Amino acid sequence: MILVIDNYDSFTFNLVQYIRTIGEEVVVIRNDQLSLEKIEQMQPDHLLISPGPGNPDSAGLCLDIVKRFYKKIPIMGVCLGHQVIAQAFGGMVIKASKPMHGKISFITHDQNGIFRDIPSPLQVTRYHSLIVDESTLPKCLEISARSEDGEIMALRHKHYKVEGVQFHPESILTENGLQMLLNFFIKECKDENKSYENTTTSLSL
């Protein structure tokens, strides 16, 4: 089961619909209507932190969710969720050089993780005015994609199954968006979960 943390955003349900097309069970709960204990009880296989307005500090329980579960449950963040991941590990979120609302960009990526078997460069759709500040990026996170002007478009934890994308994979104008979700929720996680479980006890930030 995939637990989606909804940051009060209309795009959340586009994401949910997309995920359901790949045959996964999805449960959606808003960011201020659950507790860490409730998540423990639900025992989700994956967590998805949705897009939303505002910044990570206004995203309900999301920062605490990442800090509590990143060693236990694969986590994917989209847009605001991506920023939440960065801030949870010590990064800062700042104003982007220019707002990108419904804008198309081309990104280059490392063809690993969610980008496996996807060509680079890649067209994506962006809806954001904030960005992760690269100068504050913690050592445990690596940049997996950049925009044409060098802004961070995706991040990945170096040791745990945690990835974030600044763009919207569910947008009709984002190329290979469904493949990204398949890579994270189906191919990669199900192939590698056991190896991650075997190594997490010896890894640290």
**168 catalytically annotated:** yes
Q: Which of 46, 62, 79, 188 is catalytic?
A: 79
Give the Cα separation of 20 and 1 in Å (integer).
11
| Residue 114 C-alpha from the chain's centroid | 10
Q: Which of 168, 175, 188, 189 is catalytic?
A: 168
Give the Cα separation of 68 and 70 in Å (integer).
6
Exposure letters 38-51 (e unless 16+ CB within 10 A, then b)? ebeeeebebbbbbb
Give the count of beta carbons closer than 10 Å to the beta carbon of residue 74.
24
**170 catalytically annotated:** yes
Q: Which of 151, 170, 175, 188 is catalytic?
A: 170
- From 50, 69, 26, 75, select the one nearest 184 (Cα to Cα): 75
Three-class secondary structure of residue 144 per DSSP: strand
Alpha helices, H only, the chain? 11-20, 36-42, 62-69, 80-88, 177-182, 189-199
Give the Cα separation of 167 and 169 in Å (integer).
6
Three-class secondary structure of residue 64 per DSSP: helix
Report the catalytic residues: 79, 168, 170
